[in-house]
Amino acid sequence: MTTLWKRFKYAFEADLHTVFDRKEQKNPIAMLNQYIREAEKQTEQTGKWIERQTQLKVQLEKELQEAKEMHAKRSTQADLANQQSEIDLISFAQAEVSAYANRAEVLQNSISRKTEELFNLEQKYEEMKHKVKDMKVRQLQLMGKENITRAHHQIDRVLSSQNPDKHIITFDEMEKYIENLGQHIEKQHDVSSMERRLEMLEKNETQKQETV
């Protein structure tokens, strides 16, 4: 049953990667946006871990300070009990001194490890932030490239004399339309001019006849 489930899981993940690959080929900007959102989410989570690690380190340092103070206090009390030959208090104080000394040593080692871990984590966190910033810069570059590509494509569609999209009028088509319209207007003008001259001739001829 476990083997069957693993096979199903791997098959599902493979199909999922295929879908994302196809989506990336179809719309790389959308996929980049998704990557950036995921990277920002992971970076934010890392920031929270660093904050929590810092708080833990502060708490450990507080515990270390308390252990040192109690170690010093019990050491002074042990010396005082020894001076006054308080046998039972000497034994208790010495046990306390040993316990606080051990605790301080454990805490100091833990703080040293936490400090190193925190430093490494902060370095990686800064690297993550730089990566996200670089991705955003790349996003702007790709968006600009996409806009230029779309603009050129639109210009080519408008300027092309062989435009497959009949809804878009090309400049060639507009020039032909204007030329044809101009010729039509000129022709109408010529016809009107001729008609006016003929009418003028008729009018002149009529006036001559009436005069005679």
Note the pLDDT of residue 169: 53
Q: Are residues 127 and 182 in the same domain?
A: no
Could you tell me the pTM of the whole model?
A: 0.52
> Which tens digits make up the pLDDT trace of 36-64?
888 888 888 888 888 999 999 999 999 99
Q: Is the same domain home to 90 and 177?
A: no
The model's confidence at residue 1, banded by pLDDT at 50, 70 and 90, is very low
Same domain, 82 and 187: no
The predicted structure's pLDDT at residue 97: 92
The Cα–Cα gap between 201 and 110 comes to 119
Domain that holds residue 211: 168-212
Q: Could you give the number of structural domains in the chain?
A: 2
What are 156-211's pLDDT values in tens digits? 766 665 555 554 455 566 566 666 666 665 666 666 666 777 777 777 777 777 66
* Domain end residue (candidates: 117, 134, 159): 159
85 backbone φψ class: left, alpha, beta (φ>0; ψ -120 to 50): left
Q: Tell me the percentage of the chain whose pLDDT exceeds 70.
A: 67
